[in-house]
Amino acid sequence: MIYIKRAEYFIPSEESPLPDVKFVPMLTRRRLSQLSKMVVAVNDAISKDEQPCKVTFASQFGEISQQLKISQTLLDTGNVSPAHFSLSVFNASIANATILTKNTAGYSAVFSGKEAFRDGLRDCVAALKAQSEQERVFIFADERIPETYAPIAGTPYPNAVCALALRLTTTPGEGLKELDESPLQGEFATAAEEAIAFIQQRLA
């Protein structure tokens, strides 16, 4: 059996477009994208008072807003700042999150289009079922696609946005919720829509 030990999620709203990440040092905080802020926030919430463990991170679009900035700078100037480039790579958000929580256990990144949520969760569950570890964190997140990419994104615009973190364990305990691996109800145009359905159907 696999159990949900802790869960945290963030879905932006008009009242709260971004999570509270005041615990992040200001010099780091001001460089974080919407995606990184969401990932950092949910990871911090499920990591407090816990032993570090491996993480599976999944996203459909990754640091797409940062990537657009890099592309625009490259077109305008012909140059790219190494510091800015490091913030635009797919795994930048989970790298920031694990650095801030001092988690050196390692992580994997899953990038499989609109199946990213289910494939990422499967990767996490498979590691636990293989009995290679007793606990693992799964994080999924997607940010708003820049409007520039809307005509070619192949998804509805504006797209669904959310971040979800699950701390999964094979160790039973009082109050733990068993992970339901059955298919979710509904049709999903994006991985974030599927993640939100998981929140509504499994965590509500």
- Predicted TM-score of the model (pTM): 0.95
Residue 81: is its pLDDT beyond 80? no
Residue 76: is its pLDDT beyond 90? no
Q: Where are the domains of the chain?
A: 3-203
Query: What kind of fold does domain 3-203 have according to CATH?
Result: Peroxisomal Thiolase; Chain A, domain 1 (3.40.47)
Residue 84: is its pLDDT beyond 80? no
What is the tens place of the pLDDT at every residue in 146-184?
A: 999 999 988 999 999 999 999 999 999 988 999 999 999
Distances (CA, A) of 101 to 47, 48, 145: 7, 8, 27
The pLDDT value recorded for residue 88 is 83
Distances (CA, A) of 105 to 69, 95, 203: 31, 12, 27
The pLDDT value recorded for residue 29 is 94
What sign for the dihedral angle of Cα 35, 40, 45, 47?
positive
The pLDDT value recorded for residue 3 is 98
Longest pairwise C-alpha distance within the chain: 58
What is the tens place of the pLDDT at every residue in 3-34?
A: 999 999 999 999 999 999 999 999 899 999 99
Question: Residue 185's CB: how many other CB atoms inside 10 A?
Answer: 8
Tell me the pLDDT of the chain averaged across its residues.
94
- For the record, the structure tokens of 111 come out as 């990038």
The pLDDT value recorded for residue 71 is 86
User: What is d(CA 13, CA 33) in angstroms, rounded to the nearest whole number?
Assistant: 17
**By C-alpha distance, which of 7, 9, 1, 42 is closest to 125?**
1
User: What is d(CA 109, CA 123) in angstroms, rounded to the nearest whole number?
Assistant: 10
Question: Residue 26's CB: how many other CB atoms inside 10 A?
Answer: 8
The pLDDT value recorded for residue 202 is 97
Segments of the chain assigned E as strands: 3-10, 55-58, 107-110, 135-142, 162-169, 177-178
What is the tens place of the pLDDT at every residue in 183-192?
A: 999 999 999 9
**How far is Cα of residue 69 from the mean position of the Cα atoms in its chain?**
20
